[in-house]
C-alpha cells in the first residue's frame, strides 16, 4: 500500500499561495457585492444571509472534484456605527433581526473563504449611503475617520515588513538594514496613535493581529495595539513565510470598549475536548465540526437556529466553543475597522485578502499627517518591484495622500 505523501502547506509550495489567492478572489468578489447592498434602510440580517449564500455559491465553483476541504472562513458580518466586533444577528431574535442601516453610518463588513484549510479574511468599512448620494464627496468627521483608518492601516502594513527585506544598495547596506531593531509593540502603537490623532481620532484598544495557519486564524504569533492590560503582550514577530490577519480599528471617541448585553452569535471551535452531557449539545457540536472545522461561524448558519441557541450553551460553558462577545465603543462613537490577510514573501508583502484601495480624493478635511518619520515610511513600497510596471510612477506633492495599495502587491510568482 502506497504511503501518503505529506503536503507542504508553507509558502515554499506554490500551490499554497494559489489556494490562498483563490480564496481571496472569492472574498473580494463577495465583499464587493455586500458593499453594494449596504445602503440606508437595508436589514443587517438580510445582508448577512445573502453574503453567505454568495460565498457558498462562489466556493462551489472552484476545485471541483478535488478531495480537499473548502468553505467559509468567516461568515458575512455587518457591524453598524459603534459596533467593533463582527455582528451577525439571528432571525429568531426578533428585535435584532429588524436592525437596519442608517444613512452615512460607518459599516464594517467582514467575511472570508478557505480552500484546503487556508483561509483569507477581509474587513472593510464603508459609509451606508442612499442611492442618491453614493458618489458624493465625504467631509467632516466621517472623512476624518475614514482617512485616519486608511493611513494607520497603511503604516501598520509597512511595519509588518521584516527589517532590511526590501533594502537596496550594496550587500553591506542590506546587512546593516537587516540588523536594525524592530519597533516594539508599544512603539508601533505610539506611531499609529500619532497618525489617528492627526485626525482627532483614537485607536480602538486591544485591536489584535494574528498569525494565520492552516485551519487556524489565531496562531502562535500575535500583536495587540493599545493593549488594555498585561495580557495584550505581543507573541512572536512577523517573518518571511508567514501569513497574517492584520487588523486596524479606529474610533471617533476615546477608543475604549465595552461588552454589551446582547446574545453572542459568532462562535469558533477550540482545541479543548470534553465529553458533553446533553444530546442536543453533542448534536450541535457534530454539525459544527462537519460544516466549519475550526473556523468562525454564526448560529444562523446551523440547520436549526433555535436548537443551536440551546446546543451551544454547554459547549461554551465547557470551553469546547469560544463565543465572541458583542463589543462596542464605550462612548457609542462611530468606529472603522479594516482587516487584511497578507503573506510575507522574500519580495515583500502580498495582500491576499484586502479592502479596496481608498480613493482619498473623495474625502475632504483640513487635517493631515505631518510627522516626517511617518510620512517617510508611508512613501515606502510594501513589495519589491519585479518588472517594468510602475517604475515611472510619480509621487504627489502630499505623500500622505498616496500611501497605498496600488504598489507592487503581487510581488513575483517565484515565491
**DSSP-assigned states of every residue in 113-135:** EEETTEEEEEEEEEE-B-GGGTT
CB neighbours of 175 closer than 8 A, spacing ≥ 6?
164
Cβ atoms within 10 Å of 181's Cβ, excluding its own:
7
- For residue 126, give the nearest of 314, 298, 363, 324 by alpha carbon: 363
Task: For residue 230, name the pLDDT band (cuts at 50, 70, 90).
Answer: low
* H/E element, 167: none
Mean pLDDT of the chain: 90
pLDDT score recorded for residue 234: 84
To which residue does cell 508599544 refer?
Answer: 186
Least Cα distance to 297 among 26, 80, 55 occurs for 55
- pLDDT value of residue 55: 98
Residue range 308-361, pLDDT digits in tens: 999 999 999 999 999 999 999 999 999 999 999 999 999 999 999 999 999 999
Report CA-CA distances (Å) from 326 to 82, 100, 257, 372: 11, 17, 10, 38
What does the pLDDT look like over 114-125, one tens digit per residue?
999 999 999 999
% of residues, the chain, pLDDT over 90: 80
Q: What's this model's pTM, rounded to 2 decimal places?
A: 0.91
- Class of residue 214 by CB neighbours under 10 A (exposed 0-12, middle 13-18, buried 19+): middle
Q: Is the pLDDT of residue 44 over 80?
A: yes
Residue whose grid cell is 510620512: 375
Q: How far apart are CA 145 and CA 163, in angstroms?
A: 30
C-alpha cell at 359: 480613493
Q: What are the helix and strand counts (H, E) for the chain?
A: 9, 16
Closest CA to 151 of 106, 188, 199: 199
Phi then psi dihedrals of residue 361, to 5 deg = -65, -20
Pairing of the two strands 106-115 and 118-127: antiparallel
**Structure confidence at residue 299 (pLDDT):** 96
Over range 392-408, report the average pLDDT: 46
> Who's near 406: CB < 8 A, 6+ residues apart?
357
Going by pLDDT thresholds of 50, 70 and 90, the confidence category of residue 231 is: low
Q: Is 253:329 a contact under the CB 8 Å cutoff?
A: yes
- Picking from 48, 125, 56, 27, the residue whose alpha carbon sits closest to that of residue 300 is 48
Distance CA 248, CA 258 (A): 18
Q: Under 8 Å CB-to-CB from 388, ≥6 apart: which residues?
A: none
pLDDT at 389 > cutoff 80: no
* Bridge partners of residue 186, in order along the sequence: none
List strand residue ranges (DSSP E) for 213-367, in order.
222-225, 243-251, 257-259, 266-269, 297-298, 321-324, 327-329, 335-345, 348-353, 363-364
Q: What percent of the chain has pLDDT over 70?
A: 90
Residue scoring higher pLDDT (395 or 281): 281
Per-residue pLDDT, 3: 56
Q: What is the DSSP letter of 58?
A: H
The residues near 26 (Cβ < 8 Å, ≥ 6 apart) are 55, 58, 59, 62, 113
86 Cα distance to chain centroid: 10
Amino acid at each position: 500500500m502506497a504511503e501518503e505523501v505529506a503536503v507542504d502547506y508553507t509558502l515554499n509550495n506554490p500551490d499554497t499561495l494559489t489556494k490562498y489567492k483563490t480564496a481571496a478572489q472569492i472574498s473580494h468578489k463577495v465583499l464587493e457585492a455586500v458593499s453594494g447592498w449596504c445602503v440606508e434602510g437595508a436589514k443587517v440580517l438580510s445582508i448577512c444571509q445573502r453574503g453567505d449564500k454568495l460565498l457558498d455559491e462562489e466556493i462551489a465553483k472552484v476545485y471541483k472534484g478535488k478531495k480537499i476541504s473548502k468553505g467559509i472562513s468567516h461568515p458575512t458580518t455587518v457591524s453598524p456605527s459603534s459596533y467593533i466586533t463582527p455582528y451577525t444577528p439571528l432571525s429568531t431574535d426578533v428585535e435584532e433581526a429588524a436592525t437596519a442601516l442608517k444613512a452615512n453610518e460607518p459599516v464594517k463588513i467582514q467575511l472570508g473563504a478557505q480552500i484546503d484549510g487556508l483561509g483569507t479574511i477581509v474587513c472593510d468599512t464603508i459609509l451606508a449611503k442612499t442611492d442618491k448620494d453614493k458618489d458624493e464627496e465625504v467631509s467632516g468627521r466621517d472623512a476624518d475617520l475614514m482617512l485616519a483608518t486608511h493611513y494607520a492601516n497603511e503604516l501598520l502594513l509597512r511595519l509588518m515588513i521584516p527589517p532590511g527585506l526590501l533594502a537596496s544598495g550594496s550587500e553591506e547596506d542590506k546587512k546593516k538594514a537587516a540588523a536594525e531593531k524592530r519597533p516594539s509593540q508599544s512603539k508601533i502603537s505610539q506611531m499609529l496613535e500619532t497618525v489617528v490623532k492627526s485626525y482627532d481620532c483614537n485607536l480602538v484598544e486591544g485591536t489584535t493581529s494574528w498569525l494565520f495557519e492552516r485551519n487556524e486564524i489565531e496562531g502562535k504569533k500575535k500583536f495587540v495595539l493599545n493593549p488594555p492590560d498585561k495580557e495584550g503582550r505581543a507573541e512572536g514577530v512577523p517573518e518571511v513565510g508567514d501569513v497574517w490577519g492584520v487588523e486596524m480599528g479606529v474610533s471617533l471617541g476615546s477608543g475604549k470598549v465595552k461588552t454589551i448585553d446582547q446574545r453572542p452569535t459568532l462562535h469558533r471551535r477550540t482545541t479543548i475536548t470534553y465529553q458533553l452531557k446533553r444530546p442536543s449539545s453533542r448534536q450541535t457540536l457534530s454539525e459544527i465540526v462537519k460544516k466549519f472545522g475550526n473556523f468562525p461561524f454564526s448560529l444562523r448558519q446551523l440547520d436549526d437556529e433555535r436548537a443551536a441557541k440551546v446546543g451551544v450553551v454547554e459547549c461554551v460553558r465547557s470551553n469546547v466553543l469560544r463565543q465572541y462577545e458583542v463589543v462596542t465603543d464605550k462612548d457609542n462613537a462611530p468606529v472603522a475597522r479594516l482587516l487584511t490577510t497578507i503573506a510575507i514573501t522574500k519580495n515583500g508583502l502580498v495582500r491576499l485578502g484586502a479592502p479596496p484601495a481608498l480613493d482619498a480624493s473623495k474625502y475632504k478635511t483640513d487635517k493631515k499627517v505631518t510627522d516626517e518619520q511617518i510620512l517617510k515610511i508611508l512613501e515606502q513600497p510594501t513589495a519589491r518591484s519585479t518588472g517594468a510596471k510602475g517604475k515611472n510612477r510619480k509621487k504627489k506633492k502630499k505623500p500622505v495622500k498616496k500611501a497605498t495599495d496600488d504598489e507592487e502587491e503581487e510581488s513575483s510568482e517565484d515565491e
